[in-house]
Amino acid sequence: MKVFRIAASLVPAAALLFALAQPTVSRADDAPAVGAVAPDFTLSSQEGKTVSLHDFKGQWVVLYFYPKDFTQGCTIEAHNFERDKAMYDQRKAAIVGVSVDSVDSHQQFCTKESLTFKLLADPDKKVVTQYGSVQKAGENVVAARNTFLVDPQGKIRKVFMKVSPAGHSAEVLAALDELKK
């Protein structure tokens, strides 16, 4: 009888350890708010170089999170950002995409789709979690389609949650113009 009581008392502890071992799925409520300092990070780009958010100090940053390389919506979104890249350059805004895909996947995606802006690999899901941009896709955890507009001083000035990929680049450009007035 005592053995049963000891074993039963271990069940909650085992459940807790299992839960802690699972990837965190953050909610939009966990995203940094407008006016907050954007959480800094360092990740590897498709070029295999480390890139930090603070590397962009002094310019605007379009920090966009997307679920997966080579998928339809993500390809549309990336193509639209690439199509509008000259307009972002005129506004002194860098485009930086983040997903949980690998550096190798990003290299292949950029090559196939002729993308010239930075794509950063977050396979450990630390940055997507910091930015409240984690979602489940079946059995996998991926980045949610969210965008943060970070000003030259490193503050978040606009947050776009659960964006539609087709018109998103135009929406971000309009927000940049409005914020720069």
Whether 144 is in a domain gets the answer yes
When comparing pLDDT for 137 and 44, which is higher? 44
Question: Of the residues 38, 74, 94, 144, which is catalytic?
Answer: 74
- 133 in Cβ contact with 65 (< 8 Å): yes
Dmax over CA atoms of the chain, in Å, equals 75
pLDDT at 17 > cutoff 50 = no
Q: What is the pLDDT of residue 13?
A: 43
Name 95's bridge partners.
Answer: 62
Q: Judge whether 73 lies within some domain.
A: yes
Q: What is the mean pLDDT of residues 103-123?
A: 98
Is 74 a catalytic site residue? yes
Q: Which residues, at least 6 apart from 7, have a Cβ–Cβ distance to it below 8 Å?
A: none
**Residue 15 counted as domain residue:** no
Asked whether residue 9 is assigned to any structural domain, the reply reads: no
- Count the domains in the chain: 1
Residue 84 lies in a domain: yes
Q: For residue 77, what pLDDT is reported?
A: 97
pLDDT of residue 56 exceeding 80, the answer is yes
pTM: 0.84
pLDDT for residue 131 = 97
Residue 50 has pLDDT above 60, yes or no: yes
Looking at the DSSP bridge assignments, the partners of residue 120 are 45, 98
10 is a domain residue: no
Instruction: Check which CATH number belongs to the domain holding 127 and give it.
Output: 3.40.30.10
pLDDT of residue 29: 57
**Can you give the residue range of the structural domain that contains 123?**
25-179
Q: What percent of the chain has pLDDT over 70?
A: 84
Q: Average pLDDT of the chain?
A: 88
Report if residue 42 sits inside a domain.
yes
- Residue 16 falls inside a structural domain: no
Picking from 43, 113, 127, 38, the residue whose alpha carbon sits closest to that of residue 83 is 113
User: Which residues, in sequence order, are CB contacts of 72 under 8 Å at separation 6+?
Assistant: none
Number of residues in the chain: 181
pLDDT, tens only, 126-149: 999 999 999 998 889 999 999 999
Average pLDDT over residues 20-24: 39
